[in-house]
Amino acid sequence: MSSSRPPKFSRVSLNLLMLVSIVLIVILYEPLAKQTESPLPQAPQLDASIWLSDSGSQVWFHPALADGIEIQLWFRAGFRYDGQHKGRAHLLAQLLKYESVQRKLPMAVSLDQDFIKIALHLSGSPVVLKRQIEQSQALLYHPQLSRTRLNKLRHSRTSLSEDLRQQAYGQHAYAGPQRGTAHSLREISRADLQSFHHHYLHPQRLSASIVGDVSERSAAIIMESLLPTSAHIAASDAPLMPLVARHASHDNMAVLVKPGLSNLRQPQQQERLVKDYLLMQVLQDRQPSHSRWVTGQSNNTLFLQQLAQFRQNMREHADWDMILSAKRRLASHWLQQVAGAKALSRYLVHLNAYDLPVNHMQLNLQHLQSITLDSWQQFYQTQLSEISL
């Protein structure tokens, strides 16, 4: 009866086998990850027409099937231009919003550090459209600026997020406070607001977009009717230098300052911003509704709540499958920005206002697709060292 002995391996052979296995894992792991990553969808091809109106406004137009006409007007009149009159832009935006309601206009008014933003949803009916354009033009060029409403708006209180933003930005124009202080608001007269309106809500300080089921010629006629030449002189802009990364925190809340959209002319900066967006997507997946990202020309601002949880989330590294999933959700979010006439009008005015190319989304998607496990880990380690909250 024959018997076979089990094979014997020396310790040297076992060590060599383990070393070969480790090398194979290192060599094959990332290519395997790349093979399993599906390509991101392509951005739609935008065929925008761009022109300068007779009054000096830069207009982007794109045809789209829609019931009405979507118009976006972004005036370089944000709270960074308040100067010594803190809250001036805020008061003007609130008065315009109030008057648009009084006039029953299909208009939305908002404010950020760079712009007073006005969105118009105009009718496709020629008769109604004509009346809406006349009413909108009257509001834009000759607002009533109600004294009664102004007096009611003078009572304001800064929030913790505004205080932290001011600490983070220091003497920078983005410091705010956006809504002013009780003292500064009392010092702003109606005449001050009229002067600010004449020189800052000026067609030469305007980036606009129009999207709808109209021809380019019809779109141009609408915009020329809405935006005639102003009798006033447009204010000039002083250069605004971006800040390096800074932050301030207090009471479980933080504000982080990042490079803004004016830095995107350099490809490496655009790639860095895409990674910032991806990081925000990953953190929101873990901690929804506790972060807010505000883009700006000079700097972007990240507002964080539940700071202790954020610190914990930053310490917990996401695995590669989570990053791939976050990539696809971020790409889906970007593509939704051009889904429908209203969204497309907002996206076009964003490109217009920040001097971005029409293929900006495609460039972002390419950068997003190119993020590898190694490049993400290097970026993430940099974020951990920079964010010393």
> What pLDDT, on the 0 to 100 scale, is given for residue 381?
83
Task: Give the confidence band of 123 by pLDDT, cuts at 50, 70, 90.
Answer: very high
Per the CB < 8 A criterion, the answer to whether 137 and 189 are in contact is no
| 17 pLDDT higher than 70 | no
> What pLDDT, on the 0 to 100 scale, is given for residue 99?
97
Task: Give the confidence band of 22 by pLDDT, cuts at 50, 70, 90.
Answer: low
Q: Which residue has the higher pLDDT, 98 or 252?
A: 98
Same fold, 49-226 and 246-386: yes
> What pLDDT, on the 0 to 100 scale, is given for residue 315?
74
- The token pair at 213 is 């089921």
Give the percent of the chain with pLDDT over 70: 87
Q: What is the CATH number of domain 246-386?
A: 3.30.830.10
Lowest mean pLDDT among 45-49, 104-108, 222-226, 306-310: 306-310
> What pLDDT, on the 0 to 100 scale, is given for residue 348?
98
Looking at 3.30.830.10, 3.40.50.1100, 3.40.50.2000, 3.40.50.720, the CATH number of the domain 49-226 comes to: 3.30.830.10
Sheet containing strand 58-63, edge to edge, reads 49-52, 58-63, 206-212, 69-75, 116-122, 107-111
Half-sphere exposure of 135 (CA within 13 A, CB side): 20
Distances (CA, A) of 287 to 81, 138, 268, 280, 281: 34, 45, 28, 10, 10
Q: Domain coordinates of the chain in residue numbers?
A: 49-226, 246-386
| 158 pLDDT higher than 50 | yes
Quickly tell me which residue has 């980036």 as its tokens: 207
| 284 pLDDT higher than 60 | yes
Mean local confidence (pLDDT), 376-385: 83
Q: Are strands 246-250 and 69-75 parallel, antiparallel or unpaired?
A: unpaired
Picking from 219, 325, 248, the residue whose alpha carbon sits closest to that of residue 282 is 325
| 324 pLDDT higher than 70 | yes
Picking from 67, 56, 113, the residue whose alpha carbon sits closest to that of residue 235 is 56
Per the CB < 8 A criterion, the answer to whether 87 and 184 are in contact is yes
Quickly tell me which residue has 């802009």 as its tokens: 237
The string of pLDDT tens digits covering residues 27-65 is 554 444 444 678 999 999 998 999 999 999 999 999 999
The pTM score is 0.87
> What pLDDT, on the 0 to 100 scale, is given for residue 205?
98
> What pLDDT, on the 0 to 100 scale, is given for residue 333?
94
The 3-state secondary structure of the chain, one letter per residue? CCCCCCCCCCHHHHHHHHHHHHHHHHHHHHHHHHHHCCCCCCCCCCCCEEEECCCCCEEEEEECCCCCEEEEEEECCCHHHCCCCCCHHHHHHHHHHHHHHHCCCCEEEEECCCCEEEEEEECCCHHHHHHHHHHHHHHHHCCCCCHHHHHHHCCCCCCHHHHHHHHHHCCCHHHCCCCCCHHHHHHCCHHHHHHHHHHHCCHHHEEEEEEECCCHHHHHHHHHHHCCCCCCCCCCCCCCCCCCCEEEEECCEEEEEEECHHHCCCHHHHHHHHHHHHHHHHHHHHCCCCEEEECCCCEEEEEEECHHHHHHHHHCCCCHHHHHHHHHHHHHHHHHCCCCHHHHHHHHHHHHHCCCCCCHHHHHHHHHHHCCHHHHHHHHHHHHHHCCC
